[in-house]
Amino acid sequence: MGQVAPASTGEAFLTASEVDHRSEGRADERPTSHRAEVPRSRRILTRALVVLVVLALLGGLGTAAVLTAPGLARTLGLPVSASVDPPEPVVFRPELAALPASAPTPTPEGVAAALGGRTAGLGDLTGVVLDPASPQTPLWSRNPAEPQVPASSTKLLTMAAALLSLDPETRLPTTVTAGPTPDSVVLVGGGDVSLSSLPDGRESVYPGAAHLDDLVAQVRAARGGQPLRTVYVDTSRYSGPLLAPGWDPVDIAGGNLAPMVPTMLDGARLDPTALDGARSGTPAQDVGTALGKRLGADVTVRDGTAPAGAAVLGRVESPPLTELVHTAMTNSDNLLAEALGREVAIRENAPASFAGATGAIRKVLGENGVDTTGVTTSDASGLSTENRIPAAVLASVLTPAAAPTGTDPRTAILRPLLDGLPVAAGTGTLVDRYTADSTNAAGRGWVRAKTGTLTGTNALAGVVSDVDGRLLVFAFMSNGPDPVGARPRLDALATALRGCGCR
């Protein structure tokens, strides 16, 4: 689930925006020490309920009806039956219809009129609105080349580079080999930060993650009854500092980050089911300790590397790349984004470090036709306050993903970016925005966008189908005002595009 196949001209296009295990989440990106503390009333959507609003690409995509159940209907402000009888089971029946190929294109004058009255109070606002079918001439722009702090919208660049450079079926391994002595083993980190500490049958915040228990079972069978005293943890896949420039160590306890190593349990979360829960400051040692404990030994955990030619005792693998991209985008998962950035670096023969990853991401994008002028990044996730990205670059990543089928060779590769975008009032970091009781309720279900929030920084970049059935790409960035006031104003811009015939 989650991988998107390209559609042919005139066919419906499903972007898999069901609310399932992947999209249970939070109201916005996790607060950091750099961020204003924003009150949140996170609504965890019941797994049995689904919301489906499918955005369709001109000539190649389709729209969909919204499927509702009572709890979700109330969230979205839709009618709910007054019957006191037990409700019938919810049946998931997506209905798709292609966007009309003849849908009129808004005019620049019309878009300017729709957005003009909604730009007040947004500080240093930059942005651009494009028709992905003809992106050469923007429908609206304001200083789109001005670099601003992008916050988590940085992940758009990271995920695009990962999709462009890596095989979509790439899986990240965690391996255990024989150690240098008979009473030791080596756990080799292969970049999977999603390895689950939960028993089989229970899912963490990473759907489909590999389970430590499966690895333990393989190792136990391979070692027989040999005593175990030492677990070496090999973190040599990554290099450089464990924290990026612009990261604050206090954010480890705040739930936003952990030292960046190539093996973790549940993204270093202390509670594997808490999306925003506190993280560990020793994630690699935690995996080694847990492995030894589950093998029934009180082990010593040390740094080390596997001996040359050491026998492999066990191996498990992460979900495929497209699933990891979906999770990183929808939940704005910082450590997963950093891990994928390092895989891009390794693929490009660059150091698997913060500097190596960010350089490799820019290189891959540049080689694939994305002008990265003005981009300076210190991490792959957007947590760093030192990042700068122009709104035009965010849009230039989304535009080929949203282009009509057959018009851009990058489109089929980048389609999963749309799959991972949070849905307004439905999933991920937009679950508590565009709600029925808000002034932007008209955008709920229709706006799909990557959010970005740091203190004094807001970004919103994504796609929306207007009332005429024309798909539009937008990227808005605001540096200056408080996030509490800026976010609904950015939401209002996207909502205006939804209601826009704008001719």
Any idea of the CA torsion for 419, 421, 426, 428, to the nearest 10 degrees? 110
Say which residues have a Cβ less than 8 Å from residue 89's Cβ, sequence separation at least 6: none
Of 150, 143, 230, 226, the closest CA to residue 184 belongs to 230
* C-alpha–C-alpha distance, residues 128 and 139, integer Å: 8
> What helix, strand, coil percent values describe the chain, rounded to 5?
30, 15, 55
What is the token pair recorded at 441? 């309720």
* C-alpha–C-alpha distance, residues 182 and 96, integer Å: 59
381 is catalytic: no
What CA–CA distances, in Å, run from 349 to 170, 236, 345, 363? Answer: 17, 15, 6, 12
* C-alpha–C-alpha distance, residues 303 and 79, integer Å: 58
Catalytic residue, candidates 152, 194, 438, 478? 152
Catalytic residue, candidates 17, 155, 381, 450? 155
* C-alpha–C-alpha distance, residues 484 and 132, integer Å: 31
One DSSP character per residue, 23-39 reads G---SSSPP-TTS----
293 is catalytic: no
CA triple 127-499-431, angle to 5 deg: 75
Catalytic residue, candidates 332, 381, 384, 478? 332
Q: Which amino acid is it at 242?
A: L
Say which residues have a Cβ less than 8 Å from residue 6's Cβ, sequence separation at least 6: 60, 405, 411, 412, 415
* C-alpha–C-alpha distance, residues 429 and 447, integer Å: 12
Partners of 147 in beta bridges: 390
* C-alpha–C-alpha distance, residues 471 and 476, integer Å: 16
Q: Which amino acid is it at 432?
A: D
* C-alpha–C-alpha distance, residues 224 and 61, integer Å: 54
* C-alpha–C-alpha distance, residues 332 and 410, integer Å: 23
168 torsion bin: left (phi>0), alpha (psi -120 to 50), beta (else): alpha
Q: Is 151 helix (H, G, I), strand (E, B) or coil?
A: helix
396 is catalytic: no
What CA–CA distances, in Å, run from 73 to 169, 263, 421? Answer: 36, 40, 21
User: Looking at the annotation, which residues are catalytic?
Assistant: 152, 155, 332
